[in-house]
Amino acid sequence: MVDMLKNGMSWLESQREEHLASPVAYRRGDETVEVPATIGKTIFKIEDEYRRVVRYESRDFLITASDLLLDEAIILPERGDEIIDEGFIYEVMAPANEPEWRYSDSFRNTLRIHSKLTGKE
């Protein structure tokens, strides 16, 4: 039996990558791979030690999971990895022990990677 929803999501993911993405470099240590990424954002609302709600905005990169190949193996993002976009360096991280990434779809095709601007090349 054909899974129409899964096929439709795969098609939609291919359209996102073809029409809504631009190349970025994903770096872990000395290894780098160029991948197409769509830019997004996530707003976190975190309560601080004084019970005030602090708003934190993350720059997100949506990347097809199978494109994230380093040393001929598919990897998952880790805190401290870097994404270089138009000369700006973004470190993979999220506030207050939130996960640094999550799957963006039900079929685990797309990664939503949270990051913070940390410098410029």
Q: Where do the structural domains in the chain lie, given as residue ranges?
A: 4-120
| DSSP-assigned states of every residue in 33-79 | EEEEEEEEEEEEEEE-TTS-EEEEEEEEEEEEGGG-EETTEE----T
Structure confidence by residue, pLDDT tens digits, 7-54? 888 888 888 888 999 999 999 999 999 999 999 999 999 888 899 999
Q: Which of 36, 42, 40 is nearest to 14 (CA)?
A: 36
pTM over cut 0.85:
yes
Distance separating alpha carbons of residues 109 and 121, to the nearest angstrom: 30
For tokens 């598919």, the residue is 74
The proportion of the chain whose per-residue pLDDT surpasses 70, expressed as a percent, equals 99
Q: Is the pLDDT of residue 1 over 70?
A: no
| pLDDT greater than 90 at residue 5 | no
